[in-house]
Chains A and B, each alone.
Chain A
Amino acid sequence: MRSSADTIATGTSVVPQRHEAARALASDAVMLALACALGLVESWVPSPLPGVRLGLANAATLVVLLKWGWRPALRVTFARVLLVGMLAGTLGGPAFLLSAAGAAASVAAMACAARARGLSPMGISAMGAFAHVAAQLTAAAFVVSTGAVVTLATPALLSCLPLGLATGAVAGALISRTEGSSCPSR
């Protein structure tokens, strides 16, 4: 049987924790919704080369990464990949494998880049885009093992750099616009 002192102690420590958890959940959900919406907008833009996409959904990842750190960024990214995979019906398929590999590599690269002082969101985003495409190409080489992956490497990697810079600019604008909003402390 618990003493009354115990209940008071747990009561005071639990409430702020729940508060934090709710905040984290809410902010993750907002950024996840943003990432999915941006991903949808991006699917309307025609792509010049197979596999080359605008990477707008990555802007949401970058905002989360720069504002709140790599853990929430990883959570939001994987939730997005899972959600998009479920909605598109590619969950568990080769396309899903490619997007998961790309997402993991880009979050890892951007987290490392964000630690280096002197890189702007644009530079960080370019590194993320490069890592994303490189990981996707590597995964594709394992899945299909065709020479097309080799041929596609240079054009895909070259075109991802300006697109990554553009995504970084979008993320930078998002961060400066939401500067005053409350951030959960993590």
Chain B
Amino acid sequence: MTRLDRIVIAFLLCAACAATPLSGAWAHASTRGAVAVVRCPAGVRHISLREDARYRVDGLAGSVILEVHHGTLRVVSSSCRDKVCIRAGSIDAPGEAVVCIPNGVTVTVEGDERSLDALVR
């Protein structure tokens, strides 16, 4: 080990220790709380989960009605054939999603406190 090695390793140790606090602060600053992102053929739309409301989204095969109730979001009605999106139930945790494939509509809850579905090693 040379002197430069020790300097580099000391620097990398400091960088490693700072990694979690720094990236945590950055991740926190880049999120805006409970917001659902709706991607539909017409574009991207943001919906707040803080207020109860109903939204109508135009899809490829008709329209999809979304309902926000007590901070959870679900699809109330959809023009699609199989109604998978309605049966998907309500979502509220960051990372959760409801998708209506025939209408080309996806709804994802955004936020920083996401939990993992599974861990494989």
Contact = CB atoms under 8 A, between A and B. Distances in A.
Contacts of B17: 154, 158
Interface in B64-99: 95
Q: How large is the interface on B (under 10, 10 to 19, 20 to 34, 35 or more residues)?
A: 20 to 34
B20 to A, nearest CB: 4
Contacts, number: 77
Interface in B1-17: 1-5, 8-9, 12-13, 15-17
A121 to B, nearest CB: 9
B16 A157 contact: yes
Given A130-B15, A153-B20, A119 B8 contact: yes
B113 interface: yes
A50 B17 CA distance: 18
B9 A126 contact: yes
Given A123-B8, A154-B20, A146 B15 contact: no
B121 interface: yes
A147 interface: yes
B69 to A, nearest CB: 26
Contacts of B1: 120, 122-123
A146 B114 contact: yes
Residue of A122, A150, A151 contacting most chain B CB atoms (<10 Å): A150
A111 B91 CA distance: 47
Contacts of A122: 1, 5
Interface string A154-186: 100110110001000000000000000000000
B101 interface: no
B2 A50 contact: no
A148 B112 CA distance: 10
Interface string A90-124: 00000000000000000000000100101110110
B13 A147 contact: no
Q: How large is the interface on A (under 10, 10 to 19, 20 to 34, 35 or more residues)?
A: 20 to 34
A127 interface: yes
Contacts of B16: 130, 153-154, 157-158, 160-161
Nearest to A157: B16
Interface of A: 47, 50, 113, 116, 118-120, 122-123, 126-127, 130, 134, 137, 141, 144-151, 153-154, 157-158, 160-161, 165
Given A50-B119, A144-B116, A160-B16, 14 more contacts: A116-B4, A118-B2, A118-B4, A119-B2, A137-B19, A144-B114, A146-B115, A147-B113, A147-B114, A150-B20, A150-B24, A157-B19, A158-B13, A158-B17
Nearest 9 CB-CB pairs, A to B? A123-B5, A157-B16, A153-B19, A118-B4, A154-B20, A146-B114, A158-B16, A153-B20, A150-B24
10 contacts: A118-B4, A120-B1, A126-B8, A126-B9, A130-B15, A145-B95, A145-B114, A161-B12, A161-B13, A161-B16
